[in-house]
Copies of this chain bind each other. A is one copy, B any other.
Amino acid sequence: MQDTGSGEDRLIARHFRPLATHPGALNLIDDVAVVSVPEGHDLVLKTDAIIGGVHCFPDDPAGAVARKALRVNLSDLAAKGATPLGFLLSLALPSDIGDGWLEPFAAALGEDAEGFGCPLFGGDTDRTPGPLTVAISAFGTVPHGTTVLRSGAKPGDRLVVTGTIGDAALGLVLRHDPQAATRWGLDDVMRNHLLRRYLIPEPRNVIAEALRRSAHGGMDISDGLAGDLAKMCRASQVTATVEVARVPVSDAARRALVAEPRLIDTILTGGDDYEVLASVPEHNVARLTAAAAAAGITITEIGTIVGGAANARFVGPDGRELTFVSPSFSHF
Quick one: which of A12-65 are within 8 Å of B by CB?
26, 29-37, 39, 42-49, 51, 53-55
Q: Mark A162-205, 1 if CB is under 8 A from B, else 0.
A: 00000000000000000000000000000000000000000000
Q: Out of B5, B36, B220, B226, which one reaches A144, CB within 8 Å?
A: B36
Q: Range of interface residues on chain A? A: 35 or more
Which residues in B have their C-beta under 8 angstroms from that of A230?
1, 3, 5
| Copies of this chain, tallied across the complex | 2
Expressed in whole angstroms, the Cα–Cα distance for A312 and B234 within the complex equals 58
Q: Out of B54, B226, B312, B313, which one reaches A129, CB within 8 Å?
A: B54
A155 within 8 A of partner (CB):
no
B47 contacts A226, CB within 8 Å?
no
A212 within 8 A of partner (CB):
no
Secondary structure of the A contact surface, majority rule: mixed
B147 contacts A47, CB within 8 Å?
no
Expressed in whole angstroms, the Cα–Cα distance for A322 and B231 within the complex equals 61
A247 within 8 A of partner (CB):
no
| Among all A-B residue pairs, the 3 with the closest Cβ atoms | A130-B130, A7-B332, A6-B330
**27 A–B pairs (Cβ distance < 8 Å), ordered by A:** A1-B313, A1-B323, A1-B324, A2-B311, A3-B312, A6-B223, A7-B331, A9-B330, A26-B149, A26-B151, A30-B235, A31-B76, A32-B80, A32-B147, A33-B44, A34-B147, A45-B139, A47-B123, A47-B135, A48-B90, A51-B130, A53-B129, A88-B137, A90-B90, A124-B135, A128-B130, A130-B130
